[in-house]
């Protein structure tokens, strides 16, 4: 059993499908929601894994959101300790920032379903190797990142560059949202702030269009999420835990 610290920025962006996967394996989760407790100062001493979720803020907005500095320190500690790290969307951008990589505006926002492509390193990646060809995934971001120095790009996009990277076999950053199920996508499309962001993006995409694509594309993405997150969870499992799971 591992204790996993989960950094959450807004109520609408939880662990999603990763939550029951963690609990099924017997791991314990502690959420730190900086929207509710911006002054929180969690430590990593009692944790064996770190997940940093998405959010509407940008990595440079440390004056408006001082907790981003706290998060960067947590990521630095996790990397120094070599514990499994997973950054999703904003979490991946923060991981990139800590590693000295470029984080900044995309050529255009990506909201809805967009394909990611494998790279030369994808077939050997423990998490992303199921992506053997262009794979539609759900996106919601205005900013992106370059693959940071020392890391390996394991998914990319011709339009927006690096979409996922791995560092030293224990840290991954994913720009896209494999954690979302249909309920969460529907929630985003109905929240006023998210709808306004979609309409203001200039993409000309309606919530109804995204809903139609979700009905078609989500089942394949959920299967991918099971593989990708399952491989990350394998890094939390000690030999005893893996033996128990294998016997089930």
CATH of the domain at 19: 3.40.50.880
Nearest residue to 151 via CA among 121, 123, 176? 121
CA distance 62 to 69: 7
Q: Rounded to 5 degrees, what are φ and ψ at 31?
A: -85, 135
pLDDT of res. 238: 55
Quick one: tokens of 201?
């993006």
Max alpha carbon distance in the chain (Å)? 52
pTM over the 0.85 mark? yes
Contact 14, 52 (CB under 8 A): no
* Counts for the chain of helices (H) and strands (E), in that order: 7, 9
CA distance 218 to 106: 24
pLDDT of res. 239: 41
CA distance 210 to 178: 15
pLDDT of res. 160: 87
> For 110, how many CA atoms within 13 A lie in the half-sphere containing its CB?
24
pLDDT-based confidence at residue 82 (cuts at 50, 70, 90): very high
Query: In the predicted model, what is the mean pLDDT of residues 59-73?
Result: 97
pLDDT-based confidence at residue 110 (cuts at 50, 70, 90): very high
Contact 73, 50 (CB under 8 A): no
Q: Which domain holds residue 30?
A: 3-247
Which DSSP letter does residue 83 get? -
pLDDT-based confidence at residue 54 (cuts at 50, 70, 90): very high
Number of folded domains in the chain?
A: 1
Cα distances from 68 to residues 12, 81, 119, 148, 159, in angstroms, run 18, 20, 30, 19, 28
Cα distances from 131 to residues 5, 118, 120, in angstroms, run 27, 6, 11
Task: Give the DSSP per-residue string, 42-68.
Answer: --STT-SEEEE---SS-TT-TTT-THH
Q: Give the tens place of pLDDT for each residue, 143-165.
A: 999 999 999 999 999 888 999 99
Residue 60 above 80 pLDDT?
A: yes
Burial of 187 (0-12, 13-18, 19+ CB in 10 A): middle
Quick one: tokens of 61?
């907005």
Residue 211 above 50 pLDDT?
A: yes
Residue 219 above 70 pLDDT?
A: yes
Q: Give the tens place of pLDDT for each residue, 16-39.
A: 999 999 999 999 999 999 999 999
CA distance 127 to 245: 19
pLDDT-based confidence at residue 204 (cuts at 50, 70, 90): very high
CA distance 115 to 190: 24
Nearest residue to 224 via CA among 152, 158, 135, 140? 135
């Amino acid at each position: 059993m591992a204790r996993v610290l989960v950094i959450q920025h807004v109520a609408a962006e939880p662990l999603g499908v990763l939550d029951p996967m963690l609990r099924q394996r017997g791991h314990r989760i502690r959420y730190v929601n900086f929207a509710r407790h911006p002054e929180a100062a969690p430590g990593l001493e009692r944790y064996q894994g770190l997940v940093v979720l998405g959010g509407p803020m940008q990595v440079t907005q440390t004056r408006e959101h001082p907790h981003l500095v706290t998060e960067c320190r947590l990521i630095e500690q996790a990397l120094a300790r070599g514990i499994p790290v997973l950054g999703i969307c904003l979490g991946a951008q923060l991981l990139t920032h800590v590693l000295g990589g470029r984080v900044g505006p995309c050529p255009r926002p990506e909201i809805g379903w967009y394909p990611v492509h494998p790279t030369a390193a994808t077939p050997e990646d423990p998490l992303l190797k199921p992506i053997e060809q262009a794979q539609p995934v759900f996106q919601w971001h205005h900013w992106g990142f370059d693959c940071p120095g020392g890391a390996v790009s394991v998914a990319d996009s011709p339009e927006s560059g690096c979409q996922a990277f791995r560092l030293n076999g224990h840290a991954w950053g994913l720009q896209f949202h494999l954690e979302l199920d249909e309920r969460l996508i529907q929630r985003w499309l109905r929240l006023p702030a998210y709808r306004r962001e979609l309409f203001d993006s200039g993409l000309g995409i309606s919530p109804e269009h995204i809903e139609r694509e979700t009905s078609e594309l989500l089942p394949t993405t959920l299967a991918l999420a099971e593989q990708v997150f399952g491989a990350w969870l394998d890094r939390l499992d000690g030999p005893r835990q893996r033996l128990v799971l294998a016997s089930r």
